Structure formats: C-alpha cells, structure tokens
Structure 1
C-alpha cells in the first residue's frame, strides 16, 4: 500500500495526495508544535510541509516503505526556519513596549497526567535541550519513528540517531529531575516562611522523580498533543 501510494504521489495523483494529508496531517502538525512550541507556527509549518510535498513529489523515492519520515523530515527543516524567524521577531518585540498581559490557559492541559508537576517540568526544560536533541526526541519518542526512519527524516546515519537519542533522553531526565528538586525546595522554603512544615512522602506515595521515570510513551503523546 505504501509503495502504491508513493507511485501515485510521484505521478501527481491528487486523490493520493488527499489520502496522504488525511493520514499524516495530525502527525505533522503535532511534530511541528513539539519543535516550535507554538500552535500558530505549527500550522504554518504543516501547510508549508504539504505544499512542498506536492511541489517536490518527484523527489520521493519510488520505494522505501512509509511516507511519514519523508514528511517529518521536511517539517523538521521548516520548524528550524520557523524558530529562527521567531527569534528575530522576539528580538524586535523586546525593543517595543510590553503588551497588556493575557490569561495563560496552559495549566488546563496539565491535568491529563497523574503527575502534573512532572509534565510541567518536561515542558519547561524541553526548550533547553539542543536542537538536535529536541528533533530526535520528537521523531523517535513522540512521533514513533524507528531509528532508520528517523535517520531518513534527519538525513543522518542510524548510529547518529541512536547516540543523539540516548544523550537526549539522559539530558531530559537530568533537567527534569533538577527542575523538580528546585520546585520542592521552593515549596519547602515557602512552607517555612508561612510557618508550616513540608510533609514527607507517606508510605507507598510516589515521589516526583519516580513519577517521571514511570511516564510512558502514551503519557508523553497525550500530554504534548493537547
């Protein structure tokens, strides 16, 4: 089916392109959001990705299995450009008067995980990862590509994907654990300032660091896709 879809796309079959969009638009959109951190930018990245997919359909290899790695590879490049553009806009806006504050509704999505603080910490530190680390996590962990597919999307050897993913996972875990410790110390300090003690975890209670270690792939997908 995948090779047939490839052949139809390369031949300019519009129905095949519509099928491609229906199958993978959501995955491309979510991938773009994980890399840009902005839903509006993700919409633009997704639109540009499918536009380029149609324009450059002849470049799609006639054989090669799933088409999603090809799409996510283009989306990754588009997201890089979007982040650079965002950086330039932020630099410009930093020289302008600050706008009126608007309500932040991000906390409403945190309740989808049992440990909302862990999810918040993941969100906060994710942007501190190196670009290559964010990209390989987005492809392998959240988009579910295997090493070979991620290598295809990034245009790097499979071994590079393996090493990047290992480093990215280790660094993300370390940053999250450090963030959770900072929050715990801040809570204890606030509690002492208010004259109340910080209760120690009870028997059988899951500590925040353990909760992070227990997060599943489904948890990450649900938590970052809302």
Structure 2
C-alpha cells in the first residue's frame, strides 16, 4: 500500500483505514484523548510525506506508523506526564471507557489504576515506550524493536525493568501478564 501510493496517492487512504483506529487508541492512551486526533493526523501526514523512504522489505507498515506516532508522542512528553499524574491523583481515566481492553481490562479500577498511572509516569521514556507499545499498542517485541530502531535485547531488558517497576507499584500485580 505504501509503495503503491507513490504512483496513486489515493491508495494511502487504505493504510489510514487499516491502522488509524489502532494508532489513535495507542496515542490516546499515551497523551489523552484531547491530543490523539491531532497526533494521529500528524502521524499519517508524516508517513505520507516520507512514504518514498518506507522499507518495502517490511511485511507490515504497522511498526513504521507506531514509530512515527511514538516520536510524535515524545514531543508531547510533558503533556503525557501531566496526564498520568492527573490520573494518579483522580483515578479517572477518560480513555478507559472507550478502549476497555488490554491492561485496563486486567487492572482493577480506582486505586490500582491510579497506582498504574503513577508507575507509568515514573518509568524512563524508553521503558514506558516499550511497555506501552506492547501493552496498549499490541506490538510484538520484534515490532517494538523495529518501531524504535533498537535491538530486541534492548526491548526485552526495558520491558523487564518496566514490568518490575510497575509490578512493585501495584503490590506484586503484573498488568502485562500474558503479553509477549
């Protein structure tokens, strides 16, 4: 689809139709719903502008799009931390109702959710990116490695450190149990 859009730009809409909802859910979880529409639009605009640089040997554009979105999320890092701190204080997650799957489905409401938000806010950016790409983005370790341009061993170590920290903050509960 990406390469095909070089000759027929309207084909890029197929890529948007296939992945926009998933990328939106990931970005909304990272930054809050108020930023998601803009970041997703910017993600696909960047992808469209850079489509000639897409590595056609990849079997999916999904990690590429998540990589662009993750880079844009980094620009909003302070907003993300404020969102997680507010969630920690209030226990109200406006995205949980719309995207009630993955981690949210396995973590009890109220105090557990607040503790999770606080734990996520305290992770390093690298740990948080890896953990949330797996837990909220649904990417495999291999896809995360491609998305972030890091070795799979780095993904595994960041995931391990992130899980240990989050598990400790949740009193021994691992919200990513069952994830690869």
* Equivalence for 2:87: none
* Equivalence for 1:122: 116
Counterpart selection for 2:5 from 9, 17, 31: 9
Q: Are 1:61 and 2:55 matched, yes or no?
A: yes
Task: Quote the Cα distance in structure 1 between the aligned partners of 2:134 and 2:55.
Answer: 22
CA-to-aligned-CA distance 1:124-157 (integer Å, 9 cap, x gap): 3211111111100111222121222111110111
CA-to-aligned-CA distance 1:88-147 (integer Å, 9 cap, x gap): xx8xxxxxxxxxxxxx79268589757223233212321111111110011122212122
Whether contact under 8 Å (1:12, 1:57) holds in the other structure is no
Shift of 1:214: 7.2
* Equivalence for 1:148: 142
* Equivalence for 1:29: 24
CA-to-aligned-CA distance 1:26-84 (integer Å, 9 cap, x gap): 21112222332x21222221111000011111011112111110000000110111225
Shift of 1:217: 5.8
Larger Rg: 1
Task: Quote the Cα distance in structure 1 between the aligned partners of 2:53 and 2:63.
Answer: 14
Task: Quote the Cα distance in structure 2 between the aligned partners of 1:159 and 1:10.
Answer: 35
TM-score (norm 2): 0.77
- What SS is found at the alignment partner of 1:62? coil
Whether contact under 8 Å (2:27, 2:36) holds in the other structure is yes
Pair 1:65–1:213, CA change in 2 (3 A)? same
* Equivalence for 1:44: 38
Pair 1:119–1:17, CA change in 2 (3 A)? same
* Equivalence for 1:106: 92
Task: Quote the Cα distance in structure 2 between the aligned partners of 1:13 and 1:107.
Answer: 38
TM-score (norm 1): 0.63
Whether contact under 8 Å (1:32, 1:42) holds in the other structure is yes
Unaligned runs of 5+ in 2: 83-89
Q: CA RMSD in A?
A: 2.8
Counterpart selection for 2:13 from 13, 18, 43: 18
- What SS is found at the alignment partner of 1:106? coil
Task: Quote the Cα distance in structure 1 between the aligned partners of 2:130 and 2:175.
Answer: 21
Task: Quote the Cα distance in structure 2 between the aligned partners of 1:216 and 1:148.
Answer: 18
Task: Quote the Cα distance in structure 1 between the aligned partners of 2:121 and 2:132.
Answer: 12
